[in-house]
């Protein structure tokens, strides 16, 4: 389950319409907007990040850390745990699919324009 970690940017991206969505990798989606803009989503380490731009060249210039599958209030300080050697193995994060992302942000996209599979 996703939780908002940046309210300011969440407000800017919620309830938008997407023209197309395809899964680029096991943890990355590439989207286009009805006006031809680009939205790239990356899920890593329990954090969902997004970058947007009018051209692909702009992708990555500004990255927004929008949501997380980790409840940091309950999880404590993972950085301190790693530094102090309390973590013996890499933390496990739940997988995420585009339907969860779409529902969380209130995004709209025709089902036949979403390709959420990666081989």
Alpha helices in 1-119 (DSSP H): 7-13, 72-75, 78-83, 98-105
Please name the residues in contact with 23: beta carbons below 8 A apart, sequence gap of 6 or more.
29, 98, 115, 116, 117, 118
Using one digit for the tens of pLDDT, what is the confidence trace for 45-93?
889 999 999 999 999 899 999 999 987 666 666 667 766 777 667 667 8
- Reduced to 3 states, what is the DSSP secondary structure of residue 95? coil
Using one digit for the tens of pLDDT, what is the confidence trace for 28-38?
999 999 999 99
The C-alpha atoms of residue 103 and residue 94 are separated, in whole angstroms, by 17
Q: Which residue has the tokens 């096991």?
A: 26
Using the predicted structure, report yes or no on whether residue 41 has a pLDDT greater than 90.
yes
Strand partners, 20: 32
Using one digit for the tens of pLDDT, what is the confidence trace for 98-115?
999 999 999 999 999 999
């Amino acid at each position: 389950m996703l939780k908002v970690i940046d309210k300011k940017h969440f407000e800017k991206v919620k309830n938008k319409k997407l023209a197309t969505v395809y899964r680029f990798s096991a943890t990355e989606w590439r989207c286009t907007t009805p006006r031809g803009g680009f939205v790239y989503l990356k899920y890593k380490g329990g954090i969902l990040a997004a970058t947007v731009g009018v051209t692909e060249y702009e992708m990555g210039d500004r990255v927004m850390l929008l949501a997380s599958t980790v409840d940091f209030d309950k999880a404590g300080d993972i950085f301190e745990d790693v530094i102090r050697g309390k973590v013996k193995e890499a933390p496990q994060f739940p997988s995420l699919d585009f339907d969860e992302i779409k529902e969380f942000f209130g995004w709209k996209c025709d089902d036949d324009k979403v390709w959420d599979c990666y081989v």
